[in-house]
A = this chain, B = another copy of it.
């Protein structure tokens, strides 16, 4: 019988666990309280001011039902504002606040450090190859998840 540790899915889960733990540790040490998911959302909104939640979900490959809670918490922390869209009354426009911008900039070194720590076992060349293989595997499987990545074409309101 095949050992669990020969299963790519199992290894993926373990690596993700480590990645999240490292992220938390580095970010907390820097004095911030943001999860990896919240950081990715905040960062994506900062680069695409005014997008709605579905577009955000596509940008970072989150499920649309997950976005609601993530945005809730970011709004509660004062890092985002969520306003009804004027063009489409179903949609909510997401904008990063001044405080959110400061948090994003302040947290960046910790996030960069986390990426290094979680791959500290690999050489520089191995890191490159690892990322390449991850991207390739993800590209081939993108549509198999309920939350596929969806790049915006060419109309996103570019921020700052």
Question: A residues near B, CB below 8 A?
Answer: 1-2, 4-23, 25, 36-37, 40, 43-44, 47, 59-61, 108, 111-112, 114-115, 117-122, 126-127, 129-131, 133-142, 144-147, 149
A8 touches B120 (CB 8 A): no
On whether A16 and B18 interact (CB within 8 A), knowing A117-B144, A119-B8, A136-B126, the answer reads: no
Q: In the complex, what's the smallest C-beta–C-beta distance from A10 to chain B, in angstroms?
A: 6
User: What B residues does A21 contact at CB under 8 A?
Assistant: 144-146
CA distance A44 to B3 in the complex (A): 8
Q: In the complex, what's the smallest C-beta–C-beta distance from A157 to chain B, in angstroms?
A: 16
User: What B residues does A19 contact at CB under 8 A?
Assistant: 8-9, 12-13
